[in-house]
Amino acid sequence: MSKGNTSKTLVWILMALLILGLGGFGVTNLGGTVRTVGDVGGKDISIDDYARLLQQELRALEAQVGRSVSFGEAQAAGMDSLVLGNLVVQRAMDAEAARMGISVGDERLRDELLAIPGFQGVNGEFDRDAYAYALEQTRMSEEDFEEAIREETARTLVQASVVSGVAMPQVYGDTILNFVGEQRSVLMARLTADDLVTPAATATDADLQGYYDANIDQFTLPAMRQITYVWLTPDMLIDTIEIDEAALQELFRSRSSEFNRPERRLVERLAFADMAEAEAARARLNSGEASFEMLVEERGLALADVDMGDVTAGDLGTAAEAVFAGVIGATIGPVQSDLGPALFRLNGILPALETAFEDAVPTLREELAAERARRLIETQIGDLEDLLAAGATLEELAAESDMQLGQIGWHEGESAGIAGYETFRALATIVTTEDFPEVDTLADGGIFALRLDGETAATPAPFADVRDDVTAAWAEAETLRRLQEMADGLVPQLSGDVDFAAFGLEAQEQPDLLRTGFVADTPEGFVSAIFEMEQGGVTTVPDGAELLIVKLTAITAPDRTNPEVANLLNAVLQQGAQALSQDVFEAYARDIQFVQGVTINQQALNAVHAQFQ
């Protein structure tokens, strides 16, 4: 790592320590006789370092999810293990650097300190007082901080020596590039039931029973969780919310720009340095020598650069009258604009929007009612939680509040009613019969509580209940079987240069498909099947009750002379090298931990964790 990178890392370390020191985290409460949570090869893992990093990771997690996160949640996600693991790796590297005799001299240490912006005064020079004050606020001595710099720099040297020079062989990049960039072209024809000489026969009872028995998985009801729930959403209360006229008028006035908009035009504007240049361009347009697109390109611009979007007359200034008098598709001008003489191309006309208050009332009333319903629901949460805490059942909760009682046989994939809410599905997955119902929120501002009454194992549906489904599935399978027999006779004859039309097949060409490509009206896995074929090969792909006959006509390797392909190859090699470097370092880190020996003080860890509860 370079000197600049080391300084940057240390700045972040120092600033994190300073923030935590000023933030009043209870580090002083850890100031007993225990000072470490463990050691690696004689290098102590400071209890304060562990606490600070935990706090830092917790705050980062809260910023990521946008809400407060309890330490219990973070711990369940493995945050404490991640922090401890990182510290163990660092101290193992420090121990290894010490064993190898790698250290940083005073001159290098001085350079690192002088380069840290946080220690510089207004003149850009190192400020001794600022240095001392910053360390004092973090309760860190100069000796400890400077030792941390020495260890960080030495650790970086060791790590760099391990991972430097790692490169992926060219064959790796070629293999990945061929896999990603290879293109294939196919001809495909579709066989349907109409192509059968004779239609499929009607299924007998024995046929249906046999199909049901052989494909029982298709007719098995999923395992279900029998859940009783109560819920209340804003939609349930909207009709009971009264909205006064004054509130509607106020909302209408605040959103007048949404309900009343002036006439607008969709235009592109190409400005010129002077009128003579603009008139010359206009003459080329009139003669057909140039198009508007050519004029734009000649100026080194793209159409996106000259697109003004939808504009009002006020946005166009002196050019408004001419532009608003034009017809769609016309090029107008040259006329003066804010940027000088310009040509305008008119792409669309957006009429004025005028909405009377009376016409907007239904929309406004619904929005206001929904918002007030959400606030009303929020005010009820505390009372509902108190009722549940006092032992009220969900049935009693529904009887004593606006909440509605319901039951559902929930399973993965169910999305009807309350199961359409992600919060409900997540809780329905993990709730147990021992859990007490609690009030939780829904995405639309609603609330709910649930109780698991029991679970039902997956079981086959009675044949009588699914007879119609069995009949339809049998007919589809029988049609596909007969189409496959038909295709089996055609496939051998379609190889080589044989035309599909010679057999009465209407072929459709799909050229230059990538592995990530998509072909409309084809089954899942169609493109993947194409990339399993050999040049000139013919195969069949089932699609419901229909069958696709597919012939691979061309395989095109990536064009290595294309700059984009060359850049992709370099990116693949670099990413592979980075991944391999990371794997090498992780293996090295595990090995030195084993060699150096790791000792963890669980009681000290528990003491730190107690500070976060």
pLDDT, tens digit, for every residue of 110-161?
877 787 877 777 777 888 888 887 777 766 777 878 888 888 888 888 888 8
Q: How confident is residue 25, by pLDDT bands cut at 50, 70 and 90?
A: very low
Q: CATH assignment of 224-234+368-457?
A: 3.10.50
Between residues 117 and 541, the one the model is more confident about: 541
The residues near 503 (Cβ < 8 Å, ≥ 6 apart) are: 490, 493, 494
**To the nearest whole number, what is the mean pLDDT of the chain?**
85
Question: How far is it, in rounded angstroms, from Cα 180 to Cα 166?
Answer: 23
3-164+593-612 and 224-234+368-457 in the same fold: no
Question: How far is it, in rounded angstroms, from Cα 13 to Cα 4?
Answer: 14
For 332, half-sphere exposure in the C-beta direction (CA atoms, 13 angstrom radius) is 24
Q: Hunting for tokens 């060359």 — which residue is that?
A: 566
Q: Cis (ω within 30 of 0) for the bond into 334?
A: yes
Question: How far is it, in rounded angstroms, from Cα 424 to Cα 228?
Answer: 12
The residues near 82 (Cβ < 8 Å, ≥ 6 apart) are: 57
Q: How confident is residue 226, by pLDDT bands cut at 50, 70 and 90?
A: very high
| pLDDT tens profile 374-411 | 888 888 999 999 999 999 999 999 998 989 999 999 99
Mean local confidence (pLDDT), 302-327: 89
Between residues 591 and 34, the one the model is more confident about: 591
Question: How far is it, in rounded angstroms, from Cα 517 to Cα 539?
Answer: 19
| Top mean-pLDDT range of 69-73, 223-227, 442-446 | 223-227
CA distances from 228 to 46, 384, 393, 574 (A): 50, 16, 10, 55
| pLDDT on residue 560 | 81
- Return the domain boundaries, the chain: 3-164+593-612, 183-217+466-556, 224-234+368-457, 263-351
pTM for the full predicted model? 0.49
Provide the percentage of residues in the chain whose pLDDT is more than 70.
Answer: 94
Does residue 364 carry a pLDDT above 80? no
Query: Is residue 106 a contact partner of residue 96, using CB atoms and an 8 Å limit?
Result: no
Does residue 28 carry a pLDDT above 60? no
Between residues 594 and 142, the one the model is more confident about: 594
Q: CATH assignment of 263-351?
A: 3.10.50.40
Task: Quote the tokens at residue 224.
Answer: 């279900």
Query: Looking at this protein, which amino acid is placed at residue 340?
Result: G
Number of neighbours of residue 465 by Cβ within 10 angstroms: 11
Which uninterrupted H or E stretch holds 327?
none
DSSP-derived 3-state class of residue 26: coil
| pLDDT tens profile 321-356 | 899 988 888 999 899 988 889 999 999 988 887 777
Rg of the chain over Cα atoms, rounded to whole angstroms, equals: 36
Instruction: Determine the length of the chain.
Output: 613
Question: How far is it, in rounded angstroms, from Cα 203 to Cα 468?
Answer: 12
Q: CATH assignment of 3-164+593-612?
A: 1.10.4030.10
| pLDDT tens profile 157-196 | 888 888 777 888 888 888 888 888 889 999 999 999 998 8
Does residue 80 carry a pLDDT above 80? yes
